[in-house]
Structures are given as C-alpha cells and as structure tokens.
Structure 1
Amino acid sequence: MTWRTSPFFAVLRRDLLLLGRGLADVIVSLLFFVLVACLFPLGVGADASLLRALGPGVLWVAALLATLLSQHRLFAQDHADGTLEQLLLSPDAPTLWVLAKITAHWIGTGLPLVAVAPIMGLLFDLGQCSRLTLSLSFALGTPVLALVGAIGAALALGLRGGGVLQALLLLPWFVPVLIFGAGSVASCATGQAPTTPFLLLGGALLAALALAPAACVLALRFAVEE
C-alpha cells in the first residue's frame, strides 16, 4: 500500500473533492470573518490606538465563530448516507480517516482565514510584525479549533439543536486558544517576542492531534449505536 492509497489520503482526497463541489461552507465562513473584521472598525471609530489594542482579540473571536459556523456539518453527510457506519466498520484505523476529515475541513475553512488574516489586520492598523504574528497564530490555533470542534460535532451528531449544543460544549475549550492567539499578537505589538504564546499554541496542537481523533471515534460509535 502506497501513501496515495492509504486510508488517510483516500478520505482526504474524497473530502477535498466534495468540498470543491460545494463551496458554501468555505464561502460562508470566510465571508463571516471578513464582515466582522470590516464592520468592527466602523463601529469603534478611527482611533488607531484603540483599534490596535482591540484588533487581535476581535480577529481571533471572529475566527473562532467562523470556525463554529460549519463545524456541525463535519460528519452530518456521512451519517445521513450511511458512509459513517461503513467507515467505522472498516478494518483500517478509524482515527486515520477521522483525522483526514478534520484536515480536509481545516483546509477548506481554516486555511483561508490564515491567508486573509494579514489583510484584515490592516483594518486595525496592525504593523507588519503584528500581522505576520497574527497569521502564524492562526496557522497554529485554527487546527486546534478544528480538532476540538470535531469532538463537539461528533457528540452532537444526530441530535435536535445539535449546532447550539455543540457551541455550548466547545466555547469553554476554545477560550485558551483565543487567549494564546491574541496574546501572541499583543506581545509582538509591545516589542516582545511571542515565543511563549506560540509554544503554548504548539503544545495545544500536539495534544489535540494526539487526543481528538480517538475521542471523535468514541463519540461517533456512540452516535451510530443510538
């Protein structure tokens, strides 16, 4: 078995193709993030110092909420058409295809946020260092949001009002990522190296990579059995 035919890349390729055919989730998440970033300076005013102080937190909150918008659909289609049961019964390690689905979801919803973050930073008068730090913090933090969010999506799968329940379950776990991400940009703005926030975000990413796929599999098995 080559890497191209491995379960991970097979599911990743399939989900990316499906994502390319239905771009609604990608567009909605990105548009929400851009709208929040554009509207907030209009409401606050033209005070550059205030915008610089609030910008990192606002952009991170917008990214967090944009991630939540489409997270509940991560396993919904596979659950509806019976694919989920087949994947759980397959001899391949289920954590691999779960990780592949999360990766495809992040490529569609998280990676665009990483790309546009420096541009949105201009609206808050962030300097070049702060904009670069913002993009790097998104690159480390949004995968954590995707991994942790997948657990919530699995727990709320098939439940009425699952989207609201998922948000209530996930928001407390998103807070540390929000603090570390915004803190890294704030450190750069004050002339300090954002090493500590980046290390904390990296540690959170490693922990999420190690724990989230297995937790998702357990939650999905419970949802299918129900």
Structure 2
Amino acid sequence: MWALYRRDLTLSLRVGGGAAVSVLFFLVVVTIVPLGVGPDLKLLARIGPGILWIGALLATLLGLERLFQADRDDGSLDLLLTGEAPLSLVVLAKAAAHWTASGLPLVVAAPFLALFLDLSPTAIGAVTLTLAAGTPALTLMGAIGAALTAGLRRGGLLVPVLVVPLAVPVLIFGVAAADAAVTDPAPFLPPFLILCALTLFSLVIAPIAAAAALRAGEG
C-alpha cells in the first residue's frame, strides 16, 4: 500500500502539476468571486468561508477522473483487481495520494487566500481547520464517482455530476462551522464534530463502495 501511495503521489505531482494546478484554480475562484460581488469588505468577510469551501470543492474535482482511468488505460487496474491486496485498501491508498497532492495544498494555501477576503485571524483558523477535516471526505466521495466512470469514455464529465450531490452535506457543515467562528450565530463545535463524523463515515464507506464499482465495471 505504501508503494502504491508513493507511486500515485509521484504521478499526481508529475502529471498535470498536481498541487500547483489545484492551488492555482483555488486562487482563481477566490479572486473572481469578489470581483462579482463587489468591493464590500464586510460582505466578503461574511461570505468568505463559503467562497473558500466552494473553491476547495471545485479544486478537489480536478484530476479525479484519472484516479482510476489512467490505471485502466495502461492495464494496471487489472493487476490491482487480481492482486492479493484488498481492493478497498487499494482505493484508500490512491485516494490518500490524491488528497496529499491536491487537497493538502488547498489547506495550506487557505490562510493566505483568506486574506483576500478580509477574514479575521479567528475566521482564518476556523476555515483552515474545517478544510483540513473536510477535504479528505471530498476526495473519498470523489473516488466513488471516479470508480463509477472509470470504464466510460469521457467519464470525467460525469464525475462532478456524481460527486457534488454527495459532497453537499460536507459543504453545509464545513461552512456552518466556519460561519460560527465568524459571525457566532451558534457554537463552533457541533457542526465541526458532524463534519469530522462525515469524514470518518466516508473513510469507512467510500473505499468499499468504490471497490464494488470497480469490480462491477470490470465484470
């Protein structure tokens, strides 16, 4: 599993830029939205957590279509399906590599991009913490969509359609927890704990579901 993780991480960073592309797309989203809503700093500070979370969701979708498609094209997927390692653990290793290459850089870049939205230090810390807890769930749910479309031509066009509905609960509680730290409408801890629970739930369910989708697609 460690060898598979290192292989996928190396390929993710080498093909398509990996972290650089995700952060660049994240930056584009964060800078374009303020141009659309206007220069009102109070408004930007209020909607800033939502902007950062939407940007993180869209950036996470980049490259998901190749999570299994590349292995299918070069025949590696057949070896993984017939190998001794449980397929669910294979999915987990590949998802971890994708998150390290695409999701982790978003978490690191979030505090710097939050300055564009005039967020307070407390809000910046809350958004960064919620992204660190929630982006793994986005990647794991994305693995399900990537597995379902691995055998389809132009399946990458369907991945966002499949993943975004699954990611809505993560987005809701991630933004709710960050908003609680910004405007203090409710305690921060309850939505944050629900967000962590969604990530743990995805950690258990997503590898199994993605493995079943891969077997069904190759069957």
Measured against the shorter chain, the TM-score band is: over 0.9
Partner SS, residue 24 of structure 1: coil
2:153 aligned counterpart, secondary structure: coil
Identity %: 47
Partner residue in 2 for 1:216: 210
Output the CA distance in 2 between the equivalents of 1:158 and 1:97: 18
Q: Does structure 1 residue 172 correspond to structure 2 residue 165?
A: yes
* Among 118, 123, 141, the residue aligned to 1:130: 123
What is the CA distance between 1:59 and its match in structure 2? 1.2
SS of residue in 2 equivalent to 1:91: coil
| Equivalent position of 2:43 in the other structure | 50
Give the Å deviation of 1:28.
Answer: 2.2
What RMSD over aligned residues (CA atoms) do the two structures have, in Å?
Answer: 1.4
Q: How many Å apart are 1:211 and its aligned residue?
A: 0.7
Structure 1 stretches of at least 4 aligned residues deviating more than 3 Å after TM superposition:
none
- Following the alignment from structure 2 to structure 1, what is the Cα–Cα distance between the partners of residues 85 and 56? 33
Confirm or deny that 1:30 pairs with 2:11: no
User: Is 1:148 aligned with 2:141?
Assistant: yes
- Structure 1: give runs of 5+ residues left out of the alignment: 1-7
C-alpha contact 1:76 1:158 (8 A) present in aligned 2: yes
How do 1:1-226 and structure 2 match up within 5 A? 8-191=1-184, 193-225=187-219
Is the deviation greater in 206-215 or in 189-198? 189-198
CA shift, 1:23, in A, is 4.6
**SS of 2:18's equivalent?**
helix
- TM-score normalised over the length of structure 2: 0.94
SS in 1 for 2:12: helix
Structure 1 residue matching 2:119: 3-state secondary structure: coil
**Distance apart, 1:24 and its partner CA:** 2.3
- Number of residues paired by the alignment? 218
TM-superposed CA distance for 1:67, in Å, is 1.0
Report the Cα distance in structure 1 between the residues aligned to 2:194 and 2:118, rounded to whole angstroms: 26
Q: Distance in 1 between matches of 2:162 and 2:202?
A: 16
Q: C-alpha separation between the residues in 2 aligned to 1:23 and 1:155?
A: 22
